[in-house]
Amino acid sequence: MTASNPAAPRPVIAIDWGTSSLRGARLGASGQVLASRAFPRGILTVPPGQFEAVFHELFGDWMQAEGALCLISGMAGSRQGWQEAPYCPCPAGFAELGQHLLWLQADRIALVPGLSCTGQGDRQAPDVMRGEEVQIFGALQLSGRDSATLVLPGTHSKWAHVDSGRVLQFQTFMTGEVYALMSQHSILGKTLDLSGDFDAATFLQGVDQSQQAGSVLHRLFAVRTLGLFDRLSAAQLPSYLSGLLIGEELRTQALGANSAPVILIGSDTLTQRYSLALQHLGLACQSHGAEATWAGLHALASTC
């Protein structure tokens, strides 16, 4: 593979193909984004057998560059995607991930596998991620660290523990999905007004409440009673609910005030809430956005 010669770096096409969206970037020799594209063409919109055609329709021009190397992360590697790329088991670092690439076209296009882990003790059920592993390695590189606790908030939040460049273990929390179901489909939805602005003080009230003994299944009901007794307004209740759920995630993490900063990866809206909650509990953190994906795919390409 002559292209791995640093003197003549290959053009790298980085693709993040998720459930509901498809993003791509053409990266320069040092990983800088030369051009980027985004399409509402998540894997759910692509009929079986059409992934290759959709890919070439949207990124074929970029692939014409001599020696172009394309790495695709995310749900494109799932059973419902282009082709199933078996999970790479933890502990796993860059080297293991590179060894588990699933080549769709030799030395040209590969699917990045997700990670799986089988926890210990209370975590005997397996856990999985697809796409987040690339963001994790990218964020570590951007922050110049090889050990950290990382959080990727979202519909299914991921908490990952990395030591010496290897993901040792991670856990998924259904926080975002539970928030959506509770606010839109449960009895709580009748009392809260989702059009209100985010209220930081009320959010932190929820975070505080969630640090106490007891169960989130009980605490959720307070969203109803605090409304019923006019202790919080309908517009404040979504912030309180958000605080209860994000706080529940934090409650179960063994984070000390002397820990290295937690690395948050995600949209500004979500990372700001986690950042607020972490700082409120005396914990430091730093945030990364979409650039973590490109940094991770670029670094992975350099191992090919």
Footprint of a second copy on this chain (CB under 8 A)? 121-128, 156, 171-175, 177-178, 181-182, 185-187, 209, 212-222, 225-226, 228-229, 231, 245, 248-249, 251-252
Nearer of residues 106 and 217 to a second copy, judged by Cβ: 217
Bridge-based pairing state of the strands 166-173 and 262-265: unpaired
What is the closest distance, in whole angstroms, from the C-beta atom of residue 218 to a second copy in the complex?
5
- The least distance separating a second copy from the CB of residue 217, rounded to whole angstroms, comes to 4
Cα–Cα distance, 36 to 38 (Å, whole number):
7
Closer CB to a second copy, 177 or 268, in the complex: 177
Whichever of 2 and 185 has its CB closer to a second copy, that residue is: 185
- CA torsion, points 90, 93, 94, 99, in degrees to nearest 10? -40
Smallest distance, Å, CB 79 to a second copy? Answer: 9
- Maximum alpha-carbon separation in the chain: 70
Nearer to a second copy, 144 or 214 (CB): 214
SS3 271: helix
CB of 10 to a second copy, least distance (A): 35
Residue type, 15: I
Through-space distance between the first and last CA atoms of the chain, rounded to whole angstroms = 8
- Say how far apart CA 269 and CA 275 lie, in whole Å: 10
| Residues in contact with 34: Cβ distance below 8 Å, sequence separation at least 6, in sequence order | 25, 26, 27, 28
Nearer to a second copy, 142 or 246 (CB): 246
Q: How far is the CB of 88 from a second copy (least distance, A)?
A: 15
Distance CA 148, CA 136 (A): 10
